[in-house]
Amino acid sequence: MENQVIKNIQHNLATSFVRPLYADEIVVAHTIKTGKDDNGKIIKEGHLHLVFIDMTTQRPIEKVVISPVTAKGLIKALEDSVEKLDVELKSRKVSKKEPEEKKHESASYIR
């Protein structure tokens, strides 16, 4: 079942146009919502807010709200991706199969 979900997401990404937005800086904030259940027990829920800023215009361009679980997955995916990017950028090799100007994309799925 999960493999089909990933295949559907990959297909939708490949066939959809998603306009890239370039952010120079990111503001990270969090919110905590509290309440009580039927027994009077306090329940807390939290989310992280990522606000992407274009410093040329000094305006926010997008706000994304994620759960703590997704944030933890994002941290791992970013670390892995930055490591791979560093290795690729330090390498002097260029694939002969693809033109030098072609963009290379690598993606991680965070659940």
Tens of pLDDT, residue by residue over 59-108, are 999 999 999 999 999 999 999 999 999 999 998 887 665 554 445 566 66
State the average pLDDT for the chain: 86
Query: Do the beta carbons of residue 23 and residue 42 sit within 8 Å?
Result: no
Burial of residue 70 (number of CB atoms within 10 Å: 0-12, 13-18, 19+):
middle
Q: Where are the beta strands (DSSP E) in the chain?
A: 25-36, 42-54, 59-66
